Amino acid sequence: MNKIAMPNSVVHLDLVIQMHAMVSDAIRVMEQSNLKTAFVVDDERILRGIVTNGDLRRFILAGGKIDETVDAVMNVDFKAVLLDSFPEEALKLFDLGYSMVPRIDKTGRYIDYLTPDHSHQLDASANMVVRARAPARISFAGGGTDLTYFFSRLNGLVLNAAIARYATTTLIARPGPEIDIHAHDLGVHQHFGSLMAMYDDPEPSLISATLSLIKPQFGFEIHVASDFPVGSGLGGSSAVTTSVIAAFNELRIDRWSRYEMANLAFQAERISFKINGGWQDQYAAVFGGFNLIEFRPSGNNVNSLRLPQDIIDELEESLILFDTGVAHSSSELHKIQKSQMSGLDGDSKLIKLTQYCVQMHQLLSRGELIKFGEGLDEAWTLKKQTSTAISSPELDLIYDTARRAGALGGKLLGAGAGGHMLFFAPPGTRSRVIAALAPLGCRSSPLRFDMRGAHSWRSRGQK
């Protein structure tokens, strides 16, 4: 079992008070940290309640007095994670808006607390050159069920695959504290005199947000580039984040596991940098290959598929990737989709998408690729029903044109509304589909799968 390792190098104040303490005692404890929180325990240190600034404000406004005992103000309906729980337990709560989560042992004893800002220590020799690569992904079915608000109540399931389009990071360690970040896709160069100066940047980037979690104790120069466009719908931001993490992981003695890397990427992207979205992209970028990923209220689980090479080869010859040229913002789309999918009707549609995942997985594993291609059409039809923001008349025209030209099925990749479209077309109809979509401004490209996932290596001196 993967343990929560987030606070390993973070020293926390012991913001604890006893059940018999006064509200005034809680106030004094709360003033010790910017959390403005106190943890209420009994004589056995069992966590009985939490007092926050909001609890205290409501208590005072309701006529409460500071010389009353703290049980009058404490919140007993709190969220906590077990000491030996999966790392994503706390991340899910942070993704749902919690700013602090207490940790307890199996008896309920208070241990410490977690926050969205953690330290991940490592070291490096000056002038060391490291490179890392992480793949983008395509999703076949289940997208949307990997959102925390859904699978924190119901199980989610996604079938996806990593593809041979990559974000690549080059990391060069320095003897001094200075930091240079080059995001070549965006044409951006950031220079900081130290790690603390980077923390003070009022407009952090995705890369600097990731570095703020890793907290390297040395200066460095970092270059990040990718061979897919921004807003591609291919999970590009997760590939970028994962490639940065993989580069620094190369320098660790106690390396992060694949699950730990994916969780750290989610933490950087979704919680620190606040890009709305699900969890599948990070797992695809880290694990590579074909994966059936289970999302549960407890721990997530990646089931890697071992497909025969002839099935993979035939799938590569039958799938066509198209850049629609339609721009979109996945973070904003996820906000819209979340509001539209809330409620029993939205839940029922997402549950049905998980059922399609099971069917698609069976067809893929058995090599029944014609039925698999037809299943893409059924899954896409259902996915469009979950939100009006997923498709558009322009995208519907592209999809219908491809189907008339011989594609058995397909789908828009990512959150929707733009980016890339994937189509399944038997090799004999491939050229017709490409020719039919060219007048609509869709650029085709061959698709090859990545089976390695995120990986890193040390370069022999060349930058």
H or E element in which residue 179 lies: strand 179-183
Question: Are 280 and 293 in contact, with CB atoms under 8 Å apart?
Answer: yes
- How would you class 440 by CB atoms within 10 Å of its CB: exposed for 0-12, middle for 13-18, buried for 19 or more? middle
Q: From the candidates 55, 95, 146, 281, which is the catalytic residue?
A: 281
Which residue carries 């307890």 as its tokens?
104
For residues 120 and 257, give the distance between their C-alpha atoms in angstroms, rounded to a whole number. Answer: 13
Question: Are 250 and 217 in contact, with CB atoms under 8 Å apart?
Answer: no
For residues 114 and 271, give the distance between their C-alpha atoms in angstroms, rounded to a whole number. Answer: 13
At how many degrees (to 10) do helices 344-366 and 330-341 cross? Answer: 120
Q: CA nearest 382: which of 341, 327, 423?
A: 341
Q: Where are the alpha helices (DSSP H) in 147-279?
A: 148-151, 195-199, 206-214, 236-249, 258-266
Which residue carries 């959102």 as its tokens?
147
- 281 as an active site residue: the answer is yes
Instruction: Give Cβ neighbours of residue 148 (< 8 Å, ≥ 6 apart).
Output: 92, 95, 96, 278, 279
For residues 272 and 199, give the distance between their C-alpha atoms in angstroms, rounded to a whole number. Answer: 12
For residues 383 and 400, give the distance between their C-alpha atoms in angstroms, rounded to a whole number. Answer: 16
Question: Are 394 and 407 in contact, with CB atoms under 8 Å apart?
Answer: no
For residues 113 and 4, give the distance between their C-alpha atoms in angstroms, rounded to a whole number. Answer: 11
Q: DSSP for 345-358?
A: HHHHHHHHHHHHHH
Q: What are residue 249's phi and psi, to 5 degrees? A: -65, -30
DSSP 261: H
Beta bridge partners of 218: none
End-to-end Cα separation, the chain, in angstroms: 38
Q: What are residue 123's phi and psi, to 5 degrees? A: -145, 165
Which residues belong to the active site? 281
